[in-house]
Amino acid sequence: MNERHRIVQILSQGLGVGTEEIDTLLEIPSDRSRGDLALPCFRLAGVLKRPPADIAKQAAADLSEKAVAGLASVEAVGGYLNIRFDPAVQAKKVLQAILDQGERYGSNEVGAGKTVVLDYSSPNIAKPFSVGHLRSTVIGASVGNLLAFQGYRCVRINHLGDWGTQFGKLIVAYRKWGEEVDLEGPSPIKALLKLYVRFHDEAEADPSLEDQGREWFKRLEDGDPEATSIWERFKSLSLVEFQRMYDRLGVEFDTYSGESFYNDKMQPVIDRLQEKGLLVESRGAKIVDLEPHGLTPIIIQRSDDASLYATRDLAAACYRHETYAFDKNLYFVATQQNEHFKQVFKTLELLGEPWAKDCVHVAFGLISFAEGVMSSRKGKVIFLEDVLDQAVERVDRIIAEKNPELPNRTEVAEQVGVGAIRFYDLSRRRIKDWVFDWARILNFDGDTGPYVMYTHARLSSILRKGVERGMSPLREAASIEFSALDNPEAIEILKDLENFPRAISRAAEEYEPSILAQTLVDIADHANRFYNAHHVLVEQPSVAGTRLLLVACVRTLLRTGLGLLGIAAPEEM
RNA sequence: GCGCGUGUAGCUCAGCUGGAUAGAGCGACAGCCUCCGGAGCUGUAGGUCGCAGGUUCGAAUCCUGCCACGCGUACCA
C-alpha cells in the first residue's frame, strides 16, 4: 500500500519519531466506521512528553497540509488520529486488481525457490479411516494449497502407518481367526477391525497374546516370509479403501512412502547416535536421555532390538532432508504426540543437524464422543465414509425439496455434502478439541460450508441472469459508477476484498486454514446482506454494470478461498 | 506429581503483533416471498472474557499464582 508508506513518512517527519515506530503503531480501527487507518498516540506521549490528544491534533494538521493523494479525511479524536481514504479510489484499485489477477488474487511469491515438506493424513493400515483422520488430511492438504499459493514448492507425503507392533498383533489374530472374517467383501478394513478388536478382547483374558504380537512383529521386521505376505495383503486391501476416501476428498500426495519404507534406513541413524555417545542402555532398551532438556527419554531400540516409532521418524526426517532439501518440514499430527515430536526434534538437534529447527509439529486437537474417546482397539470409531454418506444424503434431500430441477443433482450433492464436512473441520482453530455430534456436523445453516457455497451459487445466479438480460460486469474498474457502491453493505464488501490477501498470508504463515474459513464466512455474510438490500440487475446500465463487477469479484474470491480449502464451488445447488 | 494445551453469551466458536462501546452462528422469541434462488435477510433477549494479583496511560490479549477440563508421562503409534 503506497499511501500508507507516504503517511508514515509525513507523520514520522512531523512528529520527529522513527518511521518504523509509526509503522508498527498504525492500525486498522476495530470499529471501521471510524476510518481506514488509525494512529493511537498514547505510547508516543511517553516519548514526546506531550499529551496524546495534542500529538493527534498535530499529526492531523501535518497530514492535511501535505495533501496526500487518495485521502478523504483526517481527524483527531481524543488520543487517536483517524485517517480515511477516498472510498471511490480504493474501490477502483481493488476491483481492478481482482479483474487483473482473477483467481490468483491473493497469491504471492514469498515462497519462491523454497521447499516445504508436508506429512499429513498418514492413516494406519488395517485400521478404519475414521473421522479422526479427517483432521490431519484436510488441514494438511489445505495448508499445502495455501503454501503453494504463496509460491512454495510443496512435497506432500502420506506417511502410512504400515509398520509396528500392531501388525504383529493383527498377524496373530489373522492366523487364529482369519477364516471367520470376510476379507474379500466390500469393506475389508471392517473385517480387519473385527480381528483387531477380538485380539484385544481375548488379550485381556490371555496376556500372552501381547507377547505373541510383539514376537510376530519382530519376525516381520526380520523378513519372515509368512509374516511379510500376510502384511502385504493387509496393506493392499487397505490402500484400496483409503484411495476411495482420497478420491472423494480430492486429496493427493506426491508419495505414499510410509513407515515400512524406513525399515532399512534406521541403522545409520542408530550408528550416528552411538558415535556421538548419545545412545545409552537403560532397562534393556537403548535410549537417548533427554532429561537435561526437560523431556522424557526417547526409546530408540526395544529390549528385543525391534524398532520403534521414534526411530523411524528420525530416519524419515533425515531421509526427507537429504532427498528434498526442505526449508520447512511439517507434521500434521494430533496434540497427543506433542512430547514425541519434541523428543525427535531435540534428538536431531543433538545429532548436530542444523535443520532441526525447521521441523514443525503442526498440532491439532482431538475428536471425541460424548461417551468418551475414540478407540479402534475397542471398535469404537466412526468411519469417515459413513459421515460423508450421511452428509451427501442430507444434501440430496434438501435439494429435492428446494431445487428439484437441478441438473447434475448427484454430483452437486456430493460436492456440497463433502464440502460441508471439510469446512466444518477447517473452520475452527486447529488446536481446539471437538466432540463428534451428528446434529451439529449435519447442520447446514449459519456459519457453515454450504452457506459459503450457497452464496457463491447465488452470486453465480445473478451473473447468469444478468447475461440473460443483456447486462454484463464492467471490464474496467476505472469506469465504475461509484454511487452504485456508496452504501454500507457494498463498502463492507470492498474492505473484505482488500483484506483478502492478508487473510491468506496469515492462514499460510500460521498453518491455520480456519483463518481463511472465517474470512469466507464474513465475505459470504456481507454478500448476502448486500444483495438483499440492493438490487443488482437494475435499469441503469452503469449501476448494473458496477454492481455486477462487484458480484463477479466477490464470487471469484469465494471460489479461490473454497478452492484453497479443497472445497468445490458449484454454480447451482 | 511433573510437562504441554484449553477455559470468551445456554451451546459451538471469532477476537490479528495489548488500544476507543467484547463480535458471529446455533438455539429462543418477533418479523420479511407483487422484488436477482428463504441452505437467505431484519430485529429482540443473552457476557463478572475461569478466579486472584501484577505490568501498563490502557489487558479477553503480556507476567505470576490458583481452579477446572483434556492430552502426555519408557519399550504403542
Q: What is the ipTM of this complex?
A: 0.96
CA at A368, C1' at B18: how many angstroms apart? 35
Largest pairwise CA distance in chain A:
89
Hey, how many other C-beta atoms are within 10 angstroms of the C-beta on A420?
26
Q: Which tens digit of pLDDT belongs to each residue from A498-521?
A: 999 999 999 999 999 999 999 999
pLDDT at A184 over 90: no
> Quick one: how far is CA A275 from the chain centroid?
40
Among left, alpha and beta (phi > 0; psi -120 to 50; other), residue A194 is alpha
Nearest nucleotide relative to A298: CA against C1': B74
Same domain, A154 and A12: no
> Which amino acid appears at position A517 of this protein?
A
Confidence of residue A326 (pLDDT cuts 50, 70, 90): very high
CA at A15, C1' at B4: how many angstroms apart? 46
Predicted local confidence at residue A204, as pLDDT: 83
Nearest nucleotide relative to A337: CA against C1': B72
Out of A85, A105, A124, a domain closes at A85
CA at A96, C1' at B37: how many angstroms apart? 29
CA at A502, C1' at B9: how many angstroms apart? 30
Q: Which tens digit of pLDDT belongs to each residue from A226-270?
A: 999 999 999 999 999 999 999 999 999 999 999 999 989 999 999
Question: Which range among A190-199, A289-298, A324-333 shows the weakest confidence by mean pLDDT?
Answer: A190-199
Confidence of residue A330 (pLDDT cuts 50, 70, 90): very high
> Which amino acid appears at position A164 of this protein?
G
**3-state secondary structure (DSSP) of residue A179:** helix
CB A398 within 8 A of CB A444: yes
What nine digits make up the cell of A136? Answer: 490431519
Nearest nucleotide relative to A33: CA against C1': B20
Helix/strand number for chain A, H first, E second = 20, 13
CB A178 within 8 A of CB A140: no
CB A445 within 8 A of CB A451: yes
The CATH number given to whatever domain includes residue A58 is: 3.30.1360.70
A223 burial level (CB within 10 Å; 0-12, 13-18, 19+)? exposed
Residue nearest to nucleotide B19 (CA to C1'): A40
Confidence of residue A101 (pLDDT cuts 50, 70, 90): very high
CA at A417, C1' at B25: how many angstroms apart? 19
> Which amino acid appears at position A485 of this protein?
L
pLDDT at A1 over 80: no
Tell me whether residue A94 is in a domain: no
Tell me whether residue A473 is in a domain: yes
- Nucleotides of strand B under 7 angstroms from a protein beta carbon: 3-6, 12-17, 19-21, 24-27, 35-42, 57-58, 70-77
Predicted local confidence at residue A376, as pLDDT: 60
pLDDT at A150 over 80: yes
The CATH number given to whatever domain includes residue A317 is: 3.40.50.620
> Quick one: how far is CA A335 from the chain centroid?
15
Same domain, A216 and A357: yes
pLDDT at A206 over 80: yes
Predicted local confidence at residue A371, as pLDDT: 63
Predicted local confidence at residue A377, as pLDDT: 59
Please, what is the average pLDDT of chain A? 93
Q: Which tens digit of pLDDT belongs to each residue from A371-430?
A: 655 566 565 678 899 999 999 999 999 999 999 999 999 999 999 999 999 999 999 999
Q: What b/e sequence results for A235-273 when a residue is b if at least 16 CB atoms lie within 10 Å of its CB, and e otherwise?
A: bebbbebbeebbebbebebeebbbbbbbbebbeebbebb
CA at A428, C1' at B9: how many angstroms apart? 18
CA at A31, C1' at B15: how many angstroms apart? 13
CA at A230, C1' at B6: how many angstroms apart? 43
| CA nearest neighbour of A528 among A473, A464, A453 | A453
CB A364 within 8 A of CB A334: yes
Predicted local confidence at residue A194, as pLDDT: 87
Tell me whether residue A351 is in a domain: yes
Predicted local confidence at residue A131, as pLDDT: 87
Strand A298-301 to A285-288 pairing: antiparallel
d(CA A161, CA A128): 12
Same domain, A406 and A493: yes
Most confident by average pLDDT, A150-159, A177-186, A207-216 = A150-159
Tell me whether residue A61 is in a domain: yes
Same domain, A301 and A415: no
CB A334 within 8 A of CB A177: no
Q: What is the residue whose three cell numbers read 464451488?
A: A569
Same domain, A130 and A228: yes
d(CA A384, CA A370): 17
pLDDT at A81 over 70: yes
CB A142 within 8 A of CB A104: no
CB A162 within 8 A of CB A168: no
Out of A339, A373, A407, a domain closes at A373
CB A115 within 8 A of CB A325: yes
Tell me whether residue A241 is in a domain: yes
d(CA A324, CA A317): 10
Same domain, A488 and A431: yes
Residue nearest to nucleotide B6 (CA to C1'): A432
Same domain, A209 and A297: yes
- Go through chain A and tell me how many residues it has: 573
Hey, how many other C-beta atoms are within 10 angstroms of the C-beta on A153?
16
Question: Can you give the residue range of the structural domain that contains A359?
Answer: 116-373
| CA nearest neighbour of A238 among A296, A158, A299, A301 | A158
The count of structural domains within chain A is 3
CA at A22, C1' at B58: how many angstroms apart? 18
Predicted local confidence at residue A176, as pLDDT: 92
pLDDT at A277 over 90: yes
Confidence of residue A102 (pLDDT cuts 50, 70, 90): very high
Same domain, A63 and A142: no
Same domain, A455 and A559: yes
Same domain, A442 and A523: yes
Nearest nucleotide relative to A301: CA against C1': B75
Nearest nucleotide relative to A285: CA against C1': B75
Q: Which tens digit of pLDDT belongs to each residue from A519-573?
A: 999 999 999 999 999 999 999 999 999 999 999 999 999 999 999 999 999 999 9
Nearest nucleotide relative to A396: CA against C1': B39
d(CA A445, CA A50): 52
Question: Which range among A47-61, A95-109, A183-197 shows the weakest confidence by mean pLDDT?
Answer: A183-197
pLDDT at A307 over 90: no
CA at A168, C1' at B72: how many angstroms apart? 25
Tell me whether residue A98 is in a domain: no
Out of A62, A85, A108, a domain closes at A85
Tell me whether residue A379 is in a domain: no
Strand A359-364 to A367-369 pairing: unpaired
Nearest nucleotide relative to A572: CA against C1': B37
Same domain, A433 and A408: yes
Nearest nucleotide relative to A342: CA against C1': B4
Most confident by average pLDDT, A61-70, A143-152, A195-204 = A143-152
Helix axes A409-426 and A384-402, enclosed angle (nearest 10): 120
Tell me whether residue A108 is in a domain: no
Q: What is the residue whose three cell numbers read 479525511?
A: A73
The CATH number given to whatever domain includes residue A468 is: 1.10.730.10
Same domain, A469 and A329: no
